């Protein structure tokens, strides 16, 4: 444990109430938590850890085993909903440490299944995700009212998330009933002293971008600048945040949407599309330095198809440059005599694939079409390698040479350079990059690019076959209006462009045909395969082959500085979980490898280049690590050399912590940067953004107004002024003897699944008693006659699409006198589905207003309640409960649940329908919520249903597939024993 962790722990132990700790990202938060858990003793009581992610759970458990390897020591286990109530109660009383979710804990608190007197404290992780109305705040409020001696300690290592919004840190401190805020930035004195005492040896390697990559980067930045300029014209956003530097981060999308959400329904289509285009362009910059040239081109092809008709940036002049430069990195289209399109003649020394008018293969692939060029065209394969690949191999060879020299000289640190302990760790952004780099080191860059190129061409061929099938199905053109399906003639200036694209498409299909034929030959020769390379090819110098473009001109300058501060070489850790990678955006490809024994013609030169393995150098043992996995890899692998292939600020801090904990270990760190790229800008901006966030938090801390009795302000279960005012308003005006009427405690029965939202917390804040149970019908029961189904906007659209809402309203209408559908909006968003101009006069199947109208017409007793926010919903519930009896918990649980005899109580519908037969019908294959009512109207009984033909079933069920599924089930033979 580093020394500044001891200072943090001592500060927390001094205050029995607890506090909120905010650290810089990467400062080993899991080790800090593990140290606190080691200090916890069973005599203090049970300790509960909330809001921990799966990666944090594994890291904390591993660190705890490292600090205290005693097997008798109690390791933290997880309390899940699979455990029974009695089992959870016994665990709460066992004085151990547990991970638990907020949903389970709040239900056990409300049902008094948690012995709060035996809980010593709560540890809340990821405090930057908390808010005033979150479930964690609900837990702390109830927990404080029942046990004021326990502590609450909250932690966060995302400082930039703590400054979003107005005084977010202060609001979190108050919602958790804490008094102190502890800030530990990277530039704090104790932190900087510990990390700079024994720094590792840092080697900063700057790799130049290839000319084509520079062109793509410049074009994308121009497109982003144009989109930002257009958004500024709306005068509806804060222009200070709309900078190109902020546009490099994933949080930029959240900044723009947060400003535009309240007026989103009033914005035009162009403005909404610009916001989406900024996200796409940011991913293009990120993928440029992360993925290879073929994968990048494949991703651009998917963008052209998916966003070509509606995107704004794709019609800009700079977007043409993006696509052209991306193609030049992979292939170039030239005439068969060596003349480049739009250029002069040149001697084409690389591979060509010719497409001529009388080429039989081309006619077969293209459905009989022929090239318009009399001389034919050729596809000049470039397959530009990533500039970092060559530099990475050179670095590995240099590391192995130094290790061999140290072993031969017998230096002091022989344990670090021995074969068993010496390991090189290469840190990449994602798992796919790790796999590709490993393949590149083993098989050589050219082999990797050839495989990607084969997958790309195979995808083109498969897509062309699908398009041919679609054309065969629809032979006659279909259209409307004046055109009537006839395509207008193309202007003359666009004809040449169309011809070039047609020739390029034909050349790619011809190349795909050749690849397919080579794959067929491989299948034939499968009984007698030949090796892809020499015996030592996995560790030899395939990486020494220079690509034809880009990497051969890349200049890398090494700047070595012993004792340098690693802080200047960090990069912000943006988790791209919500983003679609180029591979995910494309189609599913099958791996296509081409053996050298059948590499004829166009692939011959590649084979000659990759066969130069005679002078290859040996490489050290390498371990790859994906930064997105968030694992504690340094303490497990214990590397002697770390190569940061994709610089990440969080990982850089982890390396610093690792070196500070192992001062005697000789550690060398290599950083690979693309010089003059957005990668460097993002690296510098990430440090500035975190420093700015801590400066803002320091100012907020100096201005915070936290009451000295903050931990004593918990209201508990005392009713607030809202319900009290309603009771006084509804009471009689003449009070006999001036006596105040006895206030009745309001109670609401809430379904267990509703604790994923914040509404139960707000209802409790209004003074209502929350009773969590499992409800079969509805989400909230306000009285014996009022049942409420709550829907957020997104859930409302999804429920209409699946037909689930119809069934839910039908069930409420069967068992309750007043069924209510609550449509709840967010407070910071618009209080409308769409603008008034978008609402039409006719009923349309896609309109949400039309669907609601049809729902109300079908269920006349249904009441719609519109709520602007959570607090407005609480006030509506209080007004609905006025002059109503309180709901019965046992009766609410039995609603809709059949008894042992199969009878459902208070079922109004059972007088007209055989409910048992209806439930049996709904469980048949092919029967869904949207078609079972039509089946009930079309046949009188299940016996009649069993003899209906498939054609009649298709009419009633709305589809041939569902009808065939039901018919096959009914006609299936019963298996007999023979």
pLDDT, residue 721, reads 39
CA-CA distance, 76 to 681, in Å (whole number)?
41
pLDDT, residue 519, reads 60
| DSSP letter string, 650-664 | HHHHHHHHHHHH-TT
Q: Tell how strand 18-23 and strand 181-184 pair up.
A: parallel
Section 522-539 average pLDDT: 43
272 versus 812: the higher-pLDDT residue is 812
How is domain 747-832+847-894 classified at the architecture level of CATH? 3-Layer(aba) Sandwich (3.40)
User: Which CATH number is associated with domain 198-206+388-407+420-469+619-675?
Assistant: 3.40.50.300
CA-CA distance, 598 to 604, in Å (whole number)?
9
Strand ranges (E), 43-150: 46-50, 77-79, 97-100, 119-124
| Residue 975's pLDDT band (cuts 50, 70, 90) | low
Phi–psi pair at 818, nearest 5 degrees:
-125, 90
Section 943-968 average pLDDT: 88
Bridge partners of residue 282, in order along the sequence: none
pLDDT, residue 395, reads 92
Phi–psi pair at 379, nearest 5 degrees:
-100, 110
Where in the chain are all domains bearing CATH 1.20.1320?
Answer: 211-335
Section 724-730 average pLDDT: 44
- Asked if residue 892 has pLDDT above 70, the reply is yes
CA-CA distance, 83 to 527, in Å (whole number)?
55
415 versus 843: the higher-pLDDT residue is 843
Q: Own/partner pairs for 363-368, CB < 8 Å, 24+ apart?
A: 364/513, 365/461, 365/464, 365/509, 365/510, 365/512, 365/513, 366/464, 366/506, 366/509, 367/468
Kindly report which listed range (8-17, 194-203, 705-714) carries the lowest average pLDDT score. Answer: 705-714
pLDDT, residue 375, reads 42
- Asked if residue 736 has pLDDT above 80, the reply is no
pLDDT, residue 241, reads 58
Where in the chain are all domains bearing CATH 3.40.50.300?
Answer: 3-197, 198-206+388-407+420-469+619-675
pLDDT, residue 726, reads 41
- Contact at 8 Å (CB) between 267 and 260? yes
| Residue 823's pLDDT band (cuts 50, 70, 90) | very high
pLDDT digits (tens, 9 = 90+) for 443-487: 888 889 988 888 888 887 777 777 777 766 655 544 443 334 344
CB count, 10 Å around CB of 16?
11
- Asked if residue 792 has pLDDT above 60, the reply is yes
308 versus 356: the higher-pLDDT residue is 308
Quick one: CA torsion of 610, 614, 615, 619, rounded to 10 degrees? 80
CA-CA distance, 359 to 382, in Å (whole number)?
24
Kindly report which listed range (341-350, 620-629, 895-904, 919-928) carries the lowest average pLDDT score. Answer: 341-350
- Contact at 8 Å (CB) between 420 and 706? no
Phi–psi pair at 217, nearest 5 degrees:
-60, -45
Section 605-634 average pLDDT: 68
Using a pLDDT cut of 90, give the percent of the chain over it. Answer: 22
Where in the chain are all domains bearing CATH 3.40.50.10130?
Answer: 747-832+847-894
| Residue 678's pLDDT band (cuts 50, 70, 90) | confident
Average pLDDT value over all residues in the chain = 75
CA-CA distance, 307 to 302, in Å (whole number)?
8
| Residue 5's pLDDT band (cuts 50, 70, 90) | very high
State whether CATH 3.40.50.300 applies to domain 3-197.
Answer: yes
pLDDT, residue 237, reads 63
Using a pLDDT cut of 70, give the percent of the chain over it. Answer: 69
How is domain 211-335 classified at the architecture level of CATH? Up-down Bundle (1.20)
pLDDT, residue 941, reads 86
| Residue 921's pLDDT band (cuts 50, 70, 90) | confident
| Residue 857's pLDDT band (cuts 50, 70, 90) | confident
Q: How much is the CA Rg of the chain, to the nearest whole Å? A: 34
- Asked if residue 655 has pLDDT above 70, the reply is yes
Residue labelled with tokens 């076959």: 465
- Asked if residue 71 has pLDDT above 60, the reply is no
Phi–psi pair at 836, nearest 5 degrees:
-65, -30
- Asked if residue 908 has pLDDT above 80, the reply is no
- pTM for the predicted model, two decimal places: 0.72
- Helix (H) or strand (E) run with residue 84 in it: none
Phi–psi pair at 485, nearest 5 degrees:
85, 0
Q: Tell how strand 622-626 and strand 424-428 pair up.
A: parallel
| Residue 189's pLDDT band (cuts 50, 70, 90) | very high
Section 694-711 average pLDDT: 82
Quick one: CA torsion of 566, 571, 574, 575, rounded to 10 degrees? -50
CA-CA distance, 52 to 34, in Å (whole number)?
13
State whether CATH 1.10.150.20 applies to domain 915-971.
Answer: yes
Closest CA to 111 of 82, 147, 85: 85
DSSP annotation of 265:
G
Section 47-55 average pLDDT: 92
- Asked if residue 955 has pLDDT above 80, the reply is yes
CA-CA distance, 297 to 294, in Å (whole number)?
5
Quick one: CA torsion of 602, 603, 608, 612, rounded to 10 degrees? 150
Looking at 186-338, list the stretches that DSSP marks H as alpha helix, in order from N- to C-terminal side.
189-196, 211-232, 251-260, 269-290, 293-307, 317-328
- Asked if residue 542 has pLDDT above 60, the reply is no
């Amino acid at each position: 444990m580093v020394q500044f962790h001891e200072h943090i722990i001592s500060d927390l132990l001094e205050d029995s109430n607890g506090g909120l700790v905010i650290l810089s990202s990467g400062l080993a938060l899991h080790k800090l938590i593990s140290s606190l858990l080691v200090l916890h003793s069973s005599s203090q009581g049970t300790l509960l850890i909330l809001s921990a992610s799966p990666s944090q759970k594994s890291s904390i458990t591993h660190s705890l085993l490292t600090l205290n390897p005693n097997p008798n020591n109690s390791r933290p286990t997880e309390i899940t909903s699979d455990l029974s109530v009695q089992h959870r109660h016994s665990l709460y009383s066992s004085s151990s440490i547990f991970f638990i979710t907020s949903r389970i804990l709040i239900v056990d608190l409300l049902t008094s299944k948690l012995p709060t007197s035996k809980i010593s404290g709560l540890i809340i992780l990821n405090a930057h995700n908390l808010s005033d109305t979150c479930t964690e705040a609900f837990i702390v409020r109830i927990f404080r009212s029942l046990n004021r001696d326990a502590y609450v300690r909250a932690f966060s290592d995302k400082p930039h998330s703590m400054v979003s919004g107005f005084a977010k840190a202060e609001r979190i401190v108050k919602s958790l009933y804490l008094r102190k805020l502890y800030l530990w930035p990277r530039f704090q004195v104790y932190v900087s002293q510990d990390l700079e005492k024994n720094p590792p040896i840092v080697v900063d390697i700057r790799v130049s971008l290839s000319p084509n990559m520079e062109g793509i980067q410049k074009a994308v930045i121009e497109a982003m600048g144009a989109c930002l300029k257009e958004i500024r014209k709306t005068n509806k956003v804060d222009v200070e945040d709309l900078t190109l530097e902020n546009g490099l981060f994933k949080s930029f999308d959240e900044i723009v949407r947060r400003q535009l959400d309240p007026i989103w329904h009033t914005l035009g289509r162009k403005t909404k599309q610009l916001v989406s285009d900024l996200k796409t362009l940011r991913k293009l910059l990120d993928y440029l330095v992360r993925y290879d040239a073929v994968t990048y081109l494949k991703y651009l092809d998917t963008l052209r198809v998916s966003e070509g008709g509606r995107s704004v940036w794709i019609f800009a002049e700079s977007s043409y440059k993006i696509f052209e430069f991306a193609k030049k990195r992979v292939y170039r289209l030239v005439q068969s005599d060596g003349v480049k399109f739009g250029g002069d003649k040149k001697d084409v020394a690389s591979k060509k694939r010719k497409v001529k008018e009388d080429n039989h293969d081309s006619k077969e692939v293209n459905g009989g079409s022929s090239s318009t060029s009399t001389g034919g065209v050729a596809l000049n394969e470039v397959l530009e390698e990533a500039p970092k690949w060559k530099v990475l191999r050179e670095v590995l060879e240099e590391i192995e040479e130094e290790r061999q020299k140290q072993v031969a000289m017998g230096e002091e640190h022989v344990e670090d350079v021995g074969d068993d302990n010496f390991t090189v760790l290469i840190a990449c952004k994602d798992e796919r990059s790790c796999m590709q780099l490993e393949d590149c080191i083993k098989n050589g860059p050219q082999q990797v690019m050839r495989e990607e190129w084969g997958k790309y061409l195979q995808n083109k061929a498969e897509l062309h076959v699908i398009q041919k099938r679609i054309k065969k199905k629809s032979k006659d053109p279909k259209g409307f209006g004046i055109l009537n399906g006839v395509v207008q003639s193309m202007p003359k200036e666009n004809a040449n462009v169309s011809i070039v694209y047609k020739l390029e498409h034909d050349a790619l299909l011809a190349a795909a045909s050749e690849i397919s034929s080579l794959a067929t030959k491989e299948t034939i020769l499968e009984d007698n395969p030949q090796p892809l390379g020499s015996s030592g090819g996995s560790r030899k110098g395939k990486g020494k082959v220079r690509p034809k473009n880009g990497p051969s001109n890349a200049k890398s300058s090494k700047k070595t500085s012993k004792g340098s501060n690693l802080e200047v070489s960090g990069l912000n850790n943006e988790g791209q979980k919500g983003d679609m990678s180029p591979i995910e955006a494309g189609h599913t490809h099958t791996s296509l490898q081409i053996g050298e024994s059948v590499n004829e013609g166009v692939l011959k030169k590649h084979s000659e280049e990759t066969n130069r393995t005679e002078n290859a150098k040996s490489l050290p043992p390498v371990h790859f690590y994906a930064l997105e996995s968030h694992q504690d890899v340094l303490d497990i692998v214990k590397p002697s050399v770390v190569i940061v292939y994709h610089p990440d600020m969080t990982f850089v801090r982890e390396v610093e912590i690792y070196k500070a904990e192992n001062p005697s270990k000789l550690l060398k760190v290599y950083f690979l940067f693309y010089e003059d790229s957005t990668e460097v800008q993002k690296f510098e901006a990430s440090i500035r953004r975190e420093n700015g966030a801590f400066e803002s938090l320091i100012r907020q801390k100096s201005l915070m107004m936290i009451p000295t009795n903050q931990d004593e302000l918990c209201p508990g279960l005392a009713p607030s002024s809202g319900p009290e005012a309603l009771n006084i308003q509804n009471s009689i005006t003449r009070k006999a003897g001036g006596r105040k009427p006895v206030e009745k405690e309001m109670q609401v029965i809430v379904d267990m699944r509703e604790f994923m939202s914040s509404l139960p917390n707000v209802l409790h804040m209004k003074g209502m008693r929350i009773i969590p149970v499992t409800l079969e019908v509805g989400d909230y029961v306000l009285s014996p006659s009022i049942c409420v189904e709550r829907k957020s906007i997104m859930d409302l659209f999804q429920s209409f699409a699946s037909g689930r809402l119809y069934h839910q309203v039908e069930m409420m209408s069967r068992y309750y006198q007043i069924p209510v559908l609550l449509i709840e909006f967010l407070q910071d968003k618009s209080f409308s589905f769409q603008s008034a101009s978008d609402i039409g006069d006719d009923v349309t199947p896609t309109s949400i207003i039309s669907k609601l109208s049809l729902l109300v017409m079908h269920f006349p007793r249904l009441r719609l309640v519109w709520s602007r926010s959570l607090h407005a919903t609480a006030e509506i519930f209080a007004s609905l409960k006025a002059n109503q009896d309180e709901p019965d918990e046992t009766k609410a649980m039995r609603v809709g649940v059949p008894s042992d005899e199969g009878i459902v109580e208070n079922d109004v519908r059972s007088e007209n329908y055989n409910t048992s037969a209806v439930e049996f019908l709904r469980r048949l294959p092919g029967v869904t919520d949207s078609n079972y009512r039509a089946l009930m109207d079309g046949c009188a009984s299940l016996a009649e249903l069993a003899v209906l033909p498939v054609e009649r079933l298709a009419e009633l069920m709305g589809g041939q597939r569902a009808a065939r599924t039901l018919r096959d089930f009914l006609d299936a033979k019963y298996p007999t024993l023979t």
